[in-house]
Amino acid sequence: MHYPNGKKVTVNAAKPSVTSGTIYSNRGMTLEEDINETNDYYKNTNRAIIHKKPTPVQIVQVDYPKRSAAVIKEAYFKQASTTDYNGIFKGKYIDFEAKETKNKTSFPLSNIHQHQIDHMKQVVDHGAICFLLIRFSVLQETYYYPAENLFSHWQKQLNGGRKSIPLDTVKKEGYIIPIQFHARVDYLSVIEKYYI
C-alpha cells in the first residue's frame, strides 16, 4: 500500500508467533477492540451511535486466481486519515482518536499527526466534543484526554518544547476510565459527567 506521501508500505500477513503458550498477535489492538465492543454495547442499548471510520483506500492491482479468492496486491491510501471514531450522543457530535503506548511515563506526541490536529481543531471550532482515548498498556490505564488540552502541548513541541505529554499531566488534564464488563471503555460516562 502507498500512504498519501507516495511511499510504499508492505503489509505482511504474518501468522501469530507462539512462544511458551503465549500468543503475541494483535498486541496493541486491545484498546481498539475494547472501544469497538463498547460502541456495540452503546448501540445495542440505544445509548449512542459511534462508528469506527473506514480508511479510504484506492485498489490498484487485484489477482483473481479464482472468483472466491481475490487477493489485493497493491493499494494506496486515497488521503490521510483524520480520527478513528465519530458519532452522536444526546444530540452532540463526537469525534475522537484512540492511541495506545507502551511508554510508562509519558504519551509521545509522535503518535499524532498534523492533519489529525487540524481536523480536531475544526471539529472543536464547530462545537463538537473531541478527544483522545490514551491507553498506557503497561499500566493498563486508559484516559479520556480533551482535544483542547492536546492543542497546547502540540504547539509547545512545534516551538521546540517537550515532544511528549507526561503521565502526571495526562492524569491532571484528563479523566481515567476504569475498565468495566459491558462498556469496557466507558468514555460516555466522562462526557455525561463533564460535558453534557
pLDDT at 81: 73
pTM, entire model? 0.77
What's the chain's Rg over C-alpha atoms? 19
C-alpha cell at 88: 452522536
Q: What is the pLDDT of residues 18-76, one digit of tens each?
A: 333 333 333 444 899 999 999 999 999 999 999 998 766 667 777 877 767 778 777 66
User: Which residue ranges make up the annotated binding site for Mg(2+)?
Assistant: 82, 84, 97, 116
Positions at the binding site? 82, 84, 97, 116
Q: Would you say domain 26-54+81-194 falls under CATH 3.40.50.300? A: no
Q: Where are the domains of the chain?
A: 26-54+81-194
